[in-house]
A and B are shown apart, each in its own frame.
Chain A
Amino acid sequence: MERKVVIPGEVIIEGEDYLPGEHTEKRNGQIISIRYGLAEEQNNLIKVIPLSGVYSPRRGNVVIGKVENINSNGWFVDIGSADSAFLSINEVPRYVNKDAMEEVFKIEDILIAKIWSIGKRGIDLSIKLRGLGKIDEGIIFKVNPHKVPRIIGKEGSMIKIIKDETGCDINIGQNGLILIKGPTIDSELYAKNAINFVAEKSFVNGLTEELTKWLKENKK
């Protein structure tokens, strides 16, 4: 089956040979989509890849968030999902004085963290790995979280092109927030525009060539 755009309630395929996967349902021998997105087949399993909507967190995602509240056990972080995430002091790789929590993260501080568990009670974050922690400088902007995989590319190929071309350090949160740190503001904006270009054209085949062309045309 070829990839195609489907809408809720649309019959993707008929027949008993297929199994309903993510965001699909089986009704009277038909596989029906229950979400707007791209329908795809893999070994007779039909699934729909969502293209829009809010971010749905998954374990292992690296996200960028803003501290919105503090209690004596840690920090509440807004990562753009409906449930707010919690960063416990046990998941911070340094000594934390419980009377001076603000010394580590203040309210409104931006940080990059990894989701290490999602439970009934909420999302737990960790910054115990390298590259995670507080963000002090750079540009942050938001893209549609469903376009993040395309921006990163296969094994990071797409983002590597942008990094090499602009000389910027780019961190992508799975929740759609992107941090760019570069030598000059111009180079940062150049990288930002390149990422927005990829996000806009994310369904085009042969996007890598298009991107290389765009980068050449828009080089300052």
Chain B
Amino acid sequence: MTAKFKRSDGREFDELRPIEAKVGVVPNADGSAMYKSGDTIAIAAVYGPRKMHPQHQQNPSKGQLRCDYNMISFSVSERIRPGKNRRSTEISEITKWALEPVLLLGMYPNQVVDIFIDIIQADAGTRCAGINAASLALAHAGIPMKEMVSSIAVGKLDKTLVTDLTKEEEDYEGGEGPTDIPISMTHDGKITHMQLDGKIGVEQLKDAVDLAKEACEKIYEIQKKALKDAIDMGNGEKK
């Protein structure tokens, strides 16, 4: 499927950057998590279910989800203007769509679950890191969910598929140029979100989804471990 391809940081084509995950990083929140993939770090905090304000947005048939994605001004080498912009509004909405299908909010009428995602350091793949952190934080907040969601970006550099792009690879200029495909899926392989920036053939896209499936499996194991490690069962070591 893929020819031998040398990546600038020496990774294999399907190798992920080193991942760290931790829950309970924001004591004030009802649930929170940190997700770090290489140099990309995302923090997510969940509040609620709580009463929806403004009141006219309340939905008496089910609870709602609200996402807020934000890049901290020092997260990239050139300072970005704080606050909402076109890009962050889009990613907030995308994150919401990626997570909503797994949540069971039927028992929370007129209420809202708020997720705040902050990217404190960015090196490509921030929306995926944000979704992974948010999924952890939602579970940590005790929100009923059918499944966990894991997310990864698969890229195409010239004609080769690679997993988990860095900023350097995203800016690759040779051949057909870079293509970026962020994909989110549940543990049983159902896709909740997929975007495409660039161009790719149908056959190769199928390969990309298979690559994402493999990567999401690895991420799921890390998310699972992070949640289980947070509870001290008192067996001497932290279990």
- Asked if B227 and A5 make an inter-chain contact with CB atoms under 8 angstroms apart, the answer reads yes
- Interface residues in A58-108 (C-beta closer than 8 Å to B): 82-84
User: A204: CB under 8 A from chain B?
Assistant: yes
Kindly list chain A residues whose C-beta atoms are within 8 Å of the C-beta of B139. Answer: 7-8, 36
- Asked if B108 and A82 make an inter-chain contact with CB atoms under 8 angstroms apart, the answer reads yes
User: B83: CB under 8 A from chain A?
Assistant: no
B141-167 vs A, Cβ < 8 Å mask (1 yes, 0 no): 111111110000000000000000000
- Asked if A52 and B142 make an inter-chain contact with CB atoms under 8 angstroms apart, the answer reads yes
Q: Which of B142, B188, B234 has the most CB of A within 10 A?
A: B142
- Asked if A8 and B145 make an inter-chain contact with CB atoms under 8 angstroms apart, the answer reads yes
- Interface residues in B28-45 (C-beta closer than 8 Å to A): 30-31
Given known contacts A82-B48, A82-B49, A83-B51, A5 and B144 CB-to-CB distance under 8 angstroms: no
In Å, the complex CA distance between A204 and B48 comes to 28
B216-237 vs A, Cβ < 8 Å mask (1 yes, 0 no): 0000000110011001111000
- Asked if B227 and A203 make an inter-chain contact with CB atoms under 8 angstroms apart, the answer reads no
Extra inter-chain contacts (9) besides given A9-B146, A203-B231, CB under 8 Å:
A5-B233, A7-B228, A8-B146, A9-B147, A9-B186, A9-B188, A34-B145, A54-B141, A201-B234
Q: Which of B228, B231, B239 has the most CB of A within 10 A?
A: B231
Q: Is the interface of A mostly helix, strand, loop or mixed?
A: loop
User: B17: CB under 8 A from chain A?
Assistant: no
Option from A7, A53, A146, A207 in Cβ contact (under 8 Å) with B31? A53
B51-90 vs A, Cβ < 8 Å mask (1 yes, 0 no): 1000000000000000000000000000000000000000
User: B50: CB under 8 A from chain A?
Assistant: yes
In Å, the complex CA distance between A83 and B102 comes to 24
User: Nearest B residue to A51 by beta-carbon distance?
Assistant: B231
Given known contacts A5-B228, A7-B224, A82-B50, A204 and B234 CB-to-CB distance under 8 angstroms: yes
CB distance from A3 to the nearest CB of B (A): 9
- Asked if B141 and A201 make an inter-chain contact with CB atoms under 8 angstroms apart, the answer reads no
Given known contacts A5-B227, A10-B224, A53-B31, A203 and B233 CB-to-CB distance under 8 angstroms: yes
User: B193: CB under 8 A from chain A?
Assistant: no
Kindly list chain B residues whose C-beta atoms are within 8 Å of the C-beta of A23. Answer: 144
B1-41 vs A, Cβ < 8 Å mask (1 yes, 0 no): 00000000000000000000000000000110000000000
- Asked if A7 and B48 make an inter-chain contact with CB atoms under 8 angstroms apart, the answer reads no
Kindly list chain A residues whose C-beta atoms are within 8 Å of the C-beta of B231. Answer: 5, 51, 203
Kindly list chain A residues whose C-beta atoms are within 8 Å of the C-beta of B187. Answer: 9
Kindly list chain B residues whose C-beta atoms are within 8 Å of the C-beta of A84. Answer: 51
- Asked if A54 and B146 make an inter-chain contact with CB atoms under 8 angstroms apart, the answer reads no
- Asked if A54 and B30 make an inter-chain contact with CB atoms under 8 angstroms apart, the answer reads yes
- Asked if A36 and B51 make an inter-chain contact with CB atoms under 8 angstroms apart, the answer reads no
User: A43: CB under 8 A from chain B?
Assistant: no
User: Nearest A residue to B50 by beta-carbon distance?
Assistant: A82
Option from B148, B233, B234 in Cβ contact (under 8 Å) with A8? B148
- Asked if B228 and A203 make an inter-chain contact with CB atoms under 8 angstroms apart, the answer reads no
Option from B49, B145, B148, B227 in Cβ contact (under 8 Å) with A54? B49
- Asked if B228 and A54 make an inter-chain contact with CB atoms under 8 angstroms apart, the answer reads no
In Å, the complex CA distance between A112 and B233 comes to 33
User: Nearest A residue to B225 by beta-carbon distance?
Assistant: A7
Complex A-B: 17 CB contacts under 8 Å: A5-B227, A5-B239, A8-B139, A23-B144, A34-B104, A35-B142, A36-B140, A36-B227, A51-B142, A52-B141, A53-B141, A53-B143, A82-B49, A203-B232, A203-B233, A206-B234, A207-B234
